[in-house]
Structure 1
Amino acid sequence: MADENMRPIVVKRIKKVAGGHHGGAWKIAYADFVTAMMAFFLLMWLLGSTAKGDLNGISEYFSTPLKVAMAGGTGSGDSSSVIKGGGADLTRRNGQVKKGDIDPTSKTYNLEAAKAQVARAEAERLESLKQKIESVIEVNPLLKKYKNQLLLDITSEGLRIQIVDEQNRPMFALAKAELQPYTKDILNVIGMVLNEVPNKIGLSGHTDATPYFSDAGYSNWELSADRANASRRELVKGGLGDDKVLRVTGVASAVALDRKDPFNPINRRISIIVMNKRTEEAVQRDAAALEVPAQQAEAAAQDASAAAGGH
């Protein structure tokens, strides 16, 4: 009895394990496989249904994509595409340089014909300006009184407006650069009209051959230049833009209007040139600043400094 009480008790516990769970990773792999197969069959369908020209366009685009997209030129393209060389119509073999169809053949331009056309247009504009000034002279009672002293003609430099002296009606005070009141009125009206055209203006003063000298060496050359500059100031006062004046010169009696009689009062005049494009470019080219290399300028400055110190 005692032996039965001392016998150990063994408890057996059975652990039941359910079937193993593999998770959902196989679903993701299967979905990727189905997607890849779908893309493959879609690609095969597109290749089978695409025309030969489309295939060539696709092949050419992927062979040189940067050249076609950035520079245009040879390559598939469509004029409706914003990107050069791109577009929905891949049957086009030539890339698009700009929006719209262009003639692939090269175009040549006749430069001389273009220049001649510009010259004709400018000549017509100057002729129109001449007629306008003449009509202003006819309408304006003040200018009509001095009609005989206003000479207008077209020269190789442009439209020339000359205001000349008469025997009893000089433009300036005797041997001075002081404008007469009626001369100021004429220049004021002319300045207002000339400001309406884009052309640059040149002025030159003229005297007759009567000798004129002063103790200070003041001669007809200085007098003609001062009269031209006085006329410039009056034109600006009348409304002419100061930046439109490109040249002011005094030529004394060197260019006489009446060559047979150099003492004729008509030789005393102010000449206003409404320059054409060719004359304007020539004046600006001749007046261009000469660029001196920095080394030469520095050497010249050192030589001048040394000469000043030695002196």
Structure 2
Amino acid sequence: MVSHANAPVIIRRKKVVGGGGHHGGAWKVAYADFVTAMMAFFMLMWLLNATTETQRKGIADYFNPTIAVNRISGGGDGSFGGDSVFSEDVFSRNGLGATARHHDQGERARGASAPGSHGEAVGDEMRDLAEIEGKLTARSGESMVSEHLQRHIVTKLTDEGLIVELFDLEDAPLFEGSEATPLLEDLTSVVAEVFLLARNDVAIKGHASAVPVVRAENPVWDISIARAQTVRHLLERDLPPARVKRVEGHADRVRSISDPMDVRNNRVELILLRHRL
């Protein structure tokens, strides 16, 4: 019978590597990188959808600063971004039509425009209208209107275009009934001269102050329309008649002064209409 009393005792030690060791938090770093990348991606998608071509160009230039040669990058490396001052003439002679920046009449009729050019065209047109406004109000320092006439003029830029309002004063009416006074003739002559600086179409709106007499038929409708027509005839002495697109009479419905019988409500609006892009 074999005795095991003196048999050696063998102890086996097993090394256990825990899950919270050196590499236990690596997944957190990877997940954080993934979330950051996704946030950057969604911000990029939002920026592409919420900005114009010009704004995107500005953002790109911010991260890639260079010395600007021209405002909009072109396909060429010349100072005109791929175009020259003779591009329009060259393309016309070659039968290629107008450039992307200056479309021909056919393309405009089809609504063609250069990428990102809509906002710039609107901005350019509003600046042109503001410059014309300055000719009437002396904001440009080169007013074409005398101080005697300027007190009858109010201008404002709207989505419809440049509105030039000519109105009566207590001591200086523009109309005798529906006939123009010499003062109104001088005013419309100056306005027409300024409108000749642009090619925009023109609309005319006549307004009249309320009358105190109650009648079966309110005469202010006929008065406002007749006065608008009178101004149209005066304008067409200097402007091409085809530029006048609308002639309207609004009676006493749209007031400039809250008192309906105030003479200031006797007025005519001449609107240099915006081009519809």
Classify the TM-score, shorter chain: 0.5 to 0.7
Which residue matches 2:148? Answer: 145
Does residue 124 of structure 2 align to residue 124 of structure 1?
Answer: no
Q: Deviation per CA, 1:119-154: give whole Å up to 9, x if none.
A: 11110110011112234997667x321221111111
Task: List 4+ stretches of structure 1 deviating above 3 A.
Answer: 109-113, 135-141, 211-215
1:163-202 alignment to 2 at 5 Å? 163-173=166-176, 176-202=177-203
Q: Whole-Å Cα distance in 2 between the matches of residues 266 and 112 of structure 1?
A: 46
In structure 2, the CA distance between the partners of 1:190 and 1:147, relative to structure 1 (3 Å rule), is: same
Please state how far the C-alpha of 1:112 moved relative to its aligned partner: 8.2
In structure 2, the CA distance between the partners of 1:129 and 1:263, relative to structure 1 (3 Å rule), is: same
Q: Whole-Å Cα distance in 2 between the matches of residues 181 and 272 of structure 1?
A: 18
Contact 1:199–1:276 under 8 Å retained in 2: yes
1:62-77 alignment to 2 at 5 Å? none
Q: Whole-Å Cα distance in 1 between the matches of residues 263 and 141 of structure 2?
A: 22
Please state how far the C-alpha of 1:248 moved relative to its aligned partner: 0.4
Contact 1:228–1:270 under 8 Å retained in 2: yes
Residue aligned with 1:146, SS = helix
Please state how far the C-alpha of 1:214 moved relative to its aligned partner: 7.2
Please state how far the C-alpha of 1:253 moved relative to its aligned partner: 0.8
Identity %: 24
Q: Which has the higher contact order (CA 8 A, sep 6+)?
A: 2
Which residue matches 1:225? Answer: 225
Gaps of 5+ in 2: 1-95, 97-111
Q: Whole-Å Cα distance in 2 between the matches of residues 190 and 206 of structure 1?
A: 18
Contact 1:187–1:231 under 8 Å retained in 2: yes
In structure 2, the CA distance between the partners of 1:194 and 1:212, relative to structure 1 (3 Å rule), is: farther
What one-letter code is carried by the residue in structure 2 that aligns with 1:198? R
Residue aligned with 2:221, SS = helix
Contact 1:177–1:223 under 8 Å retained in 2: yes
Please state how far the C-alpha of 1:235 moved relative to its aligned partner: 1.1
What one-letter code is carried by the residue in structure 1 that aligns with 2:241? D
Q: Deviation per CA, 1:77-134: give whole Å up to 9, x if none.
A: xxxxxxxxxxxxxxxxxxxxx9xxxxxxxxxx99884321111111011001111223
Contact 1:212–1:219 under 8 Å retained in 2: no
Q: Could you say which structure has the higher helix fraction? A: 1
Note the aligned Cα RMSD (angstroms).
Answer: 2.8
Contact 1:201–1:246 under 8 Å retained in 2: yes
What one-letter code is carried by the residue in structure 1 that aligns with 2:171? N
Q: Whole-Å Cα distance in 2 between the matches of residues 276 and 110 of structure 1?
A: 17
Give the TM-score, by structure 1 length. Answer: 0.48
1:68-107 alignment to 2 at 5 Å? none
Give aligned pairs, total: 166
Which residue matches 2:243? Answer: 244
Please state how far the C-alpha of 1:240 moved relative to its aligned partner: 1.0
Which residue matches 2:256? Answer: 257
Q: Whole-Å Cα distance in 1 between the matches of residues 168 and 155 of structure 2?
A: 15
Gaps of 5+ in 1: 1-97, 99-108, 282-311
In structure 2, the CA distance between the partners of 1:172 and 1:110, relative to structure 1 (3 Å rule), is: closer
Give the TM-score, by structure 2 length. Answer: 0.54
